[in-house]
Amino acid sequence: MDSSLTSPPHGTSASTTEIVPVRRPRRRRVGAGLVAAAFLLTGCQLPTFGEYKGSTTQARTEYHLWQGFFIAGLVVGVFVLMLITWAIVRYRRKSEEIPPQHQYHTLTEIIYTVVPILIVLVLFVFTVLAENKVTALESNPATSIHVYAFQWGWEFEYPNGVKVIGQTTNDPTMVVPTGETVRIRLDSYDVLHGFYVPEFNFSRYATPGYSTYFDLNVIHNGTYRGQCTQLCGLYHSLMFFNVKSVSPADYATWLRTELALAKAHPSSAPQLPSGVHAGGGTSSNSNAGGLPYGD
Ligand SMILES: [Cu+2]
């Protein structure tokens, strides 16, 4: 045994009355360190780990799940690195002799089987809870927008009949009210497209013949870039759109103004490009909540 563990520090006697006072300052330092760490950790925010913080309430849920996964990965990674380092140092070659050979350590084997399974189960439960929140459909959404994807653009149709259409070099903008639930019904007129807004941490397939429903609750006013994420043909790379979130009052005003303009100038109403047949992609099939990759 290492004699330093049992021997008193150099220059002190072996009596316990002199050893105990030496340990107390160390405990105090550890205690103070823990308190300081607690204050520091609660005072600062966790890093984003490269993820968007999320501009919708649904996106925030995804963001927090991402943080949890990343931290779990870091803890496991650091622990494994420490084990590897320890094994490299502790069992490095010290002589030409073959070291004692062992096999089977039941307790270790049980631990390294059970612990990873527990980790996966915990991550699975948090994933299911987060997905249920993200795909939940509110019973009374404030507004609904019918989104159609086509080669190569987007059509946004509002409950009062207002339509916004844009393609390739003319990105359409979907206006939504901030802080309210917006129900999206997503369809495709032709082939498979992808509705993706990076800052919403969210993507869904627009599937021909299959309607996908989801809710968005944008937290702050702003304009968010969106794009098609499914290679859908020649000008897929130009299939962008914007989501502009404004106050509910501004949203109502915008809807009224657009409707009045459409009625005043019916001939200048936005048109789908020739070759895109409206109604070709919708059906009574529905995918409430939406599968992340269609089906
Ligand atoms: Cu597309």
pLDDT at res. 93: 87
The share of the chain scoring above pLDDT 70, in percent, equals 82
Overall pTM surpassing 0.85 (yes/no): no
- Between the CA of 188 and the centroid of ligand 1 the distance, in Å, is 9
pLDDT at res. 291: 45
- Between the CA of 173 and the centroid of ligand 1 the distance, in Å, is 16
- Between the CA of 60 and the centroid of ligand 1 the distance, in Å, is 26
Sign of CA dihedral 125, 130, 133, 134: negative
Q: What whole-number distance in Å separates Cα of residue 186 and Cα of residue 174?
A: 13
- Between the CA of 228 and the centroid of ligand 1 the distance, in Å, is 5
How does pLDDT run across 210-261, given as a tens digit for each residue?
999 999 999 999 999 999 999 999 999 999 999 999 999 999 999 999 999 9
- Between the CA of 232 and the centroid of ligand 1 the distance, in Å, is 4
pLDDT at res. 284: 44
How does pLDDT run across 164-201, given as a tens digit for each residue?
999 998 999 999 999 999 999 999 999 999 999 999 99
Question: Concatenated DSSP letters for 224-273?
Answer: EEEEE-S--STTGGG-EEEEEEE-HHHHHHHHHHHHHHHHH-GGGS--PP
pLDDT at res. 183: 98
For residue 24, name the pLDDT band (cuts at 50, 70, 90): low
- Provide the token pair at 102: 């062992």
**Residue 243, amino acid:** V
Q: What whole-number distance in Å separates Cα of residue 53 and Cα of residue 106?
A: 44
Q: What is the mean pLDDT of residues 2-8?
A: 42
- φ/ψ region of 56 (left if φ > 0, alpha if ψ in -120 to 50, else beta) reads beta
Strand order in the sheet with 143-150: 163-167, 153-157, 143-150, 182-188, 211-216, 286-287
- Between the CA of 190 and the centroid of ligand 1 the distance, in Å, is 9
How does pLDDT run across 134-174, given as a tens digit for each residue?
999 999 999 999 999 999 999 999 999 999 999 998 999 99
- Judge whether 222 and 176 are in contact, CB under 8 Å: no
- Between the CA of 85 and the centroid of ligand 1 the distance, in Å, is 49
